[in-house]
């Protein structure tokens, strides 16, 4: 059967096709529209395309949607904590646990407020923060350069690794009596004890971060003519930053936890001293007030370190 479709040159005068129309009258999305992949003002957004539906919204609904997502995420993340706090308040009042040894949360918060108003909490908190930050800062200054040196230079690693393996498996708490016998019971002992406990996670994570850099990155950098110093500066150190900060965050938690043990020996101020003193005098709500303060302090310290990590890791793609 012969083809009766008229050729382009034989079209009837009244026939109009999309390719005859001007650009502003052509049907959007029709075939042949290959000039741009960007959505113009007249193109329809595909809701299935990521980011297109949100970008199509006006600013006010877009902000409302972002706020809603943030609120849902915060509610989800805080559900377990809220349940714990509710159980802490309800179970002692119902007699499920002994309210003498585990007072309701509200009584502990009242005791915390009384300590704050009386100035006792501020005194103990300042003493603990000074010791913790001093030991933590010295650990960073000491452990990161040593870890980079051990991870980058094999002779140094071969020389120090046996010694590191010996001491890394020795508990810092077990060595507290040794620190006390050698350095006494003053501030030097407490800061040095925190320094020792914080140095290990930073040191070991720094070594691991240097040694686990992608070998292909190193080969590529060397093929481009980078010397050892530039290679370390441009490739090794940036790639090791996330692992180093993991150790720094662990050390931040240790700086508060191990300090409590140090403050329970020969201290007259500090959160550890407060907890031990209130426990021995059977002021249970005050003891829990000190524990709550330590928990909140550790949480804020961790959030601060997370913010610093993001600041130094902005080069990473997400």
pLDDT digits (tens, 9 = 90+) for 38-76: 444 444 444 444 445 445 556 666 676 776 777 777 677
- Sign for the CA dihedral angle at 118, 120, 123, 125 comes to negative
What long-range pairs does 91-99 form, CB within 8 A, spacing at least 24?
Answer: none
- The closest of 259, 286, 256 to 121, measured between CA atoms, is 286
3-state secondary structure of 314: coil
Q: What is the rounded radius of gyration, in angstroms, for the C-alpha atoms of the chain?
A: 32
Identify the residue whose tokens are 């601060």.
304
Closest CA to 6 of 17, 151, 33, 192: 17
Q: What is the DSSP string of 143-194?
A: HHHHHHHHHH-HHHHHHHHHHHHHHHTS-TGGGHHHHHHHH-SSHHHHHHHH
The first and second tokens of residue 85, run together, are 């706090």
Per mean pLDDT, which range of 36-50, 191-205, 245-259 is the poorest?
36-50
CA dist., res. 274 & res. 121, Å (int): 9
The model's pLDDT over 140-164, given as tens digits with 9 standing for 90+, comes to: 999 999 998 898 888 888 888 888 8
Question: Which residue matches tokens 């700086």?
Answer: 255
Neighbours of 211 (CB within 10 A): 14
* pLDDT surpassing 70 at residue 17: no
Question: Is the predicted pLDDT of residue 287 greater than 90, yes or no?
Answer: yes
- Distance CA(143)–CA(160), nearest Å, equals 13
Distance CA 82, CA 113 (A): 20
Per-residue pLDDT tens over the stretch 291-317: 999 888 888 888 888 888 777 666 554
**CA 309 to CA 286: how far, in whole Å?**
35
* The predicted structure's pLDDT at residue 103: 92
* Rounded-to-integer distance, Cα 171 and Cα 54, Å: 53
Architecture per CATH, domain 105-312, reads as: Orthogonal Bundle (1.10)
Q: Is the pLDDT of residue 115 over 70?
A: yes
Hey, where are the domains in the chain?
28-101, 105-312
Which of 13-22, 121-130, 222-231, 263-272 has the lowest average pLDDT? 13-22
Q: Which residue has the higher pLDDT, 15 or 102?
A: 102
Listed in sequence order, the residues at least 6 apart from 121 whose beta carbon sits closer than 8 Å to its beta carbon are 112, 115, 274, 289, 293
Query: CA-CA distance, 84 to 296, in Å (whole number)?
Result: 15
With pLDDT > 70 as the criterion, what percentage of the chain qualifies? 76
Enter the tokens of residue 146.
């040593």
Residue 139 confidence (pLDDT) above 50: yes
């Amino acid at each position: 059967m012969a083809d009766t479709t008229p050729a382009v040159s034989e079209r009837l005068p009244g026939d109009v096709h999309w390719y005859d129309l001007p650009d502003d009258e052509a049907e959007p999305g029709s075939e042949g529209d290959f000039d741009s992949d960007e959505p113009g003002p007249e193109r329809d957004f595909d809701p299935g395309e990521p980011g297109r539906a949100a970008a199509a919204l006006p600013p006010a609904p877009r902000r409302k949607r972002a706020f809603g997502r943030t609120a849902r995420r915060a509610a989800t993340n805080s559900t377990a904590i809220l349940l714990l706090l509710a159980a802490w308040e309800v179970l002692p009042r119902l007699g499920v646990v002994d309210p003498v040894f585990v007072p309701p949360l509200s009584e502990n918060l009242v005791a915390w407020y009384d300590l704050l108003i009386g100035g006792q909490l501020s005194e103990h908190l300042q003493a603990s923060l000074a010791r913790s930050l001093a030991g933590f800062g010295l650990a960073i200054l000491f452990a990161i350069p040593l870890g980079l040196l051990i991870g980058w230079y094999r002779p140094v690693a071969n020389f120090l690794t046996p010694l590191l393996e010996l001491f890394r498996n020795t508990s810092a708490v077990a060595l507290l009596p040794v620190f006390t016998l050698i350095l006494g019971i003053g501030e030097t002992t407490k800061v040095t004890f925190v320094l020792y406990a914080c140095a290990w996670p930073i040191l070991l994570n720094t070594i691991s971060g240097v040694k686990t850099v992608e070998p292909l990155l190193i080969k590529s950098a060397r093929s481009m003519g980078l010397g050892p110093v530039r290679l370390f500066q441009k490739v090794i150190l940036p790639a090791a930053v996330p692992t180093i900060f993991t150790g720094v965050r662990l050390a931040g938690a240790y700086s508060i936890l191990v300090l409590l043990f140090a403050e329970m020996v020969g201290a007259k101020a500090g959160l550890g001293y407060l907890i031990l003193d209130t426990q021995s005098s059977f002021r249970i709500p005050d003891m829990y007030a000190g524990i709550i303060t330590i928990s909140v302090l550790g949480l804020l310290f961790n959030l601060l370190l997370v913010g610093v990590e993001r600041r130094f890791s902005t080069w990473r793609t997400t």
